[in-house]
């Protein structure tokens, strides 16, 4: 099988799995706020366009993110060409990318991570093809998301290192204008979130991959192997960890920029593997096998997340709980001819139900607390009760 055929087969399988999984999840509170509460963004407009075209359903909701990450995988295959000697190496790299927990999550959850990843990889592809003419894309990226400020800062660092000082001011000016126009969250009570940030990175990349990428960044820096990918990934990692000493960091704004370290990791791994005689390659094969095994296990935990309720005593403590319940609750209410309700102490669920056709009104009250004599609605997965709501219909005057 040729590398190109293997690549498209891999993307096809991934797309089929993601589309199937998209229909089984509910809109999260963060996604509902992005659609209804926040000021309209580029990502919001894209999602709304998909819903207008394909209907208000979970597949249409997540289709833009799925397509963006598949396109990012294709661009990664192209961007990694200078770092990969053979096409099959880059196919393995794409497989690692698609199996990363953060990539799977950004395909199924409504946020800006998929858009940032696509924009970043598209810029890197243009930069490899056309050099500095790719900078014409930067103002457009600045309009898409404030996270691209990290790209502008990395470009400024690389320009400074290359002694192209006239570009340094331009990149820094673009960074300042982007932050001023779109805003960057620096609020909240100062608190140390460093360990939490490290844990989030490990969750996004899996522990083995994250530790290896940090090692690769350090090794290439101390050996003087400086390039744009190193500047981008290192800037994002260092800045996020520094900020985490003061505040909670939104990982989706920084993790896409660490993704560009993947080609560097691939090049370092295969170089270290090839320079050793066959008897001394075992630990590298073991490392690769362990990393892939953990990624497959993590992917399985995401794709078959509802089965975990069979083994959990407190369903509400489960990490995937926030992606469940809402759609099934809406369907149960509609089956009882209830198309609007109010949840007095559950603003999050109120907003999530809005996407599934349950408006807000005072005729029906839904609570999580047990009330005597009130009708209950229980949501079950694999016949395991995971949430119960109590419905009260108020009489009209």
Asked if the structure places residue 252 within a domain, the reply is: yes
pLDDT at 36: 87
Is residue 133 assigned to a domain?
Answer: yes
Residue 74 confidence class, pLDDT cut points 50, 70, 90: very high
Q: What's the confidence (pLDDT) of residue 46?
A: 95
For residue 181, give the DSSP letter.
Answer: H
| pLDDT cut 90: percent of the chain above it | 65
pLDDT of 188 strictly over 70: no
My answer on whether 280 and 329 are in the same domain is no
Task: Please give the residue that has the higher pLDDT: either 191 or 102.
Answer: 102
Same domain, residue pair 331 and 283: no
Give yes or no: residues 163 and 294 share one domain: yes
Domain membership of residue 309 (yes or no) is no
- Give residue 124's pLDDT: 97
Residue 148 pLDDT class (50, 70, 90 cuts): very high
Same domain, 186 and 120: yes
Residue 373 pLDDT: 65
Residue 312 inside a domain? The answer is no
Which of 279, 303, 327 is the endpoint of a domain?
Answer: 303
pLDDT at 187 over 90: no
Burial pattern 245-266, b for ≥16 Cβ within 10 A else e, equals eebebbbbbbbbbbbbbbbbbb
Query: Looking up tokens 């799977």, which residue turns up?
Result: 104
Total domains in the chain come to: 2
- Judge if 243 and 325 occupy the same domain: no
- As a whole number, mean pLDDT of residues 66-93 equals 94
Average pLDDT over residues 263-272: 92
Full residue range of the structural domain in which residue 264 is found: 3-303
Please tell me the pTM assigned to this model: 0.92
330 and 199 share a domain? no
Domain boundary pick from 254, 271, 303: 303
Identify whether residues 239 and 275 lie together within a single domain: yes
233/38: higher pLDDT: 233
**Same domain membership, residue 332 and residue 235:** no
Tell whether 311 is covered by a domain: no
Of the pLDDT bands very low, low, confident and very high (cuts 50, 70, 90), residue 120 is very high
The answer to whether residues 217 and 347 belong to one domain is: no
Average pLDDT over residues 101-113: 92
In a domain, 55, yes or no: yes
Joined tokens for residue 172: 């820094």
Confidence of residue 350 (pLDDT cuts 50, 70, 90): very high
E strand or H helix at 376: strand 375-381
Q: How far is CA 301 from CA 73, 81, 320, 328, 354, in A?
A: 22, 31, 10, 21, 28
Q: Would you list the DSSP string of 276-309?
A: S-GGG-HHHHHHHHHHHHHHHHHHHHHHTGGGGG
The mean pLDDT value for 111-140 works out to 95
What digits encode the pLDDT tens for the residues 274-322? 888 788 888 888 988 999 999 999 888 888 888 889 998 889 888 889 9
Asked if the structure places residue 308 within a domain, the reply is no
- Kindly state whether residues 321 and 299 are assigned to the same domain: no
Both 173 and 293 in one domain: the answer is: yes
Q: Are residues 254 and 364 in the same domain?
A: no
Mean pLDDT of the chain: 90
As a whole number, mean pLDDT of residues 321-345 equals 93
Rounded distance between C-alpha atoms, residue 154 and residue 273, angstroms: 30
Q: Please state the separation of Cα 295 from the chain's center in Å.
A: 15
Mean pLDDT of 156-163: 90
pLDDT at residue 85 in the model: 78
Of 303, 337, 364, at which residue does a domain stop? 303
Q: Which residue, among 66, 22, 252, has the nearest Cα to 150 in the 3D structure?
A: 252
- Is residue 294, in this structure, part of any structural domain at all? yes
Task: Indicate the range of 96-105, 122-131, 371-380 predicted with least confidence.
Answer: 371-380
Cβ contact 265:213 at 8 Å: yes
Q: Which of 242, 239, 216 is nearest to 229 (CA)?
A: 216
């Amino acid at each position: 099988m040729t590398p190109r055929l293997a690549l498209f087969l891999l993307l096809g399988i991934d797309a089929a799995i993601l589309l199937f999984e998209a229909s089984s999840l509910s809109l999260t509170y963060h996604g509902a706020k992005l659609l209804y509460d926040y000021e309209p963004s580029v990502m919001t407009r894209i999602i709304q366009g998909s819903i207008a075209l394909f209907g208000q359903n979970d597949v249409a909701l997540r289709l833009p993110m799925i397509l963006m990450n598949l396109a990012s995988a294709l661009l990664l295959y192209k961007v990694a060409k200078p770092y990969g000697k053979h096409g099959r190496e880059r196919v393995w790299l794409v497989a690692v990318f698609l199996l990363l927990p953060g990539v799977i999550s950004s395909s199924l959850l409504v946020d800006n991570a998929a858009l940032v990843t696509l924009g970043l990889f598209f810029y890197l592809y243009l930069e490899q093809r056309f050099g500095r003419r790719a900078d014409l894309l930067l103002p457009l990226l600045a309009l898409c998301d404030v996270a691209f400020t990290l790209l502008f800062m990395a470009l400024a660092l690389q320009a400074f290192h290359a002694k192209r000082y006239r570009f340094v001011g331009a990149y820094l000016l673009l960074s300042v204008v982007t932050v001023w126009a779109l805003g960057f969250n620096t609020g909240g009570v100062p608190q140390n979130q460093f360990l939490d940030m490290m844990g989030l990175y490990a969750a996004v990349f899996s522990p083995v991959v994250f530790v290896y990428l940090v090692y690769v960044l350090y090794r290439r820096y101390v050996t003087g192997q400086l390039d744009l990918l190193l500047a981008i990934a290192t800037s994002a990692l260092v800045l996020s960890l520094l900020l985490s000493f003061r505040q909670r960091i939104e990982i989706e704004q920084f993790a896409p920029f660490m993704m560009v370290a993947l080609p560097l990791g691939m090049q370092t791994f295969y170089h270290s593997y090839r320079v050793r005689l066959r008897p001394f390659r075992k630990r590298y094969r073991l490392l690769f096998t362990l990393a892939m095994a953990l990624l497959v296990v993590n992917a399985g935990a995401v794709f078959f997340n509802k089965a975990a309720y069979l083994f959990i005593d407190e369903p509400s403590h489960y990490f995937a709980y926030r992606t469940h319940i809402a759609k099934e609750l809406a369907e149960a209410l509609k089956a009882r001819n209830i198309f609007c309700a109010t949840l007095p102490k559950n603003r999050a669920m109120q907003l999530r139900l809005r996407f599934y056709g349950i408006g807000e009104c005072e005729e029906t009250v839904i609570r999580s607390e047990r009330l005597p004599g009130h009708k209950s609605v229980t949501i079950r997965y694999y016949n395991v009760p995971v949430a119960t709501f109590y419905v009260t219909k108020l009489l009209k005057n």
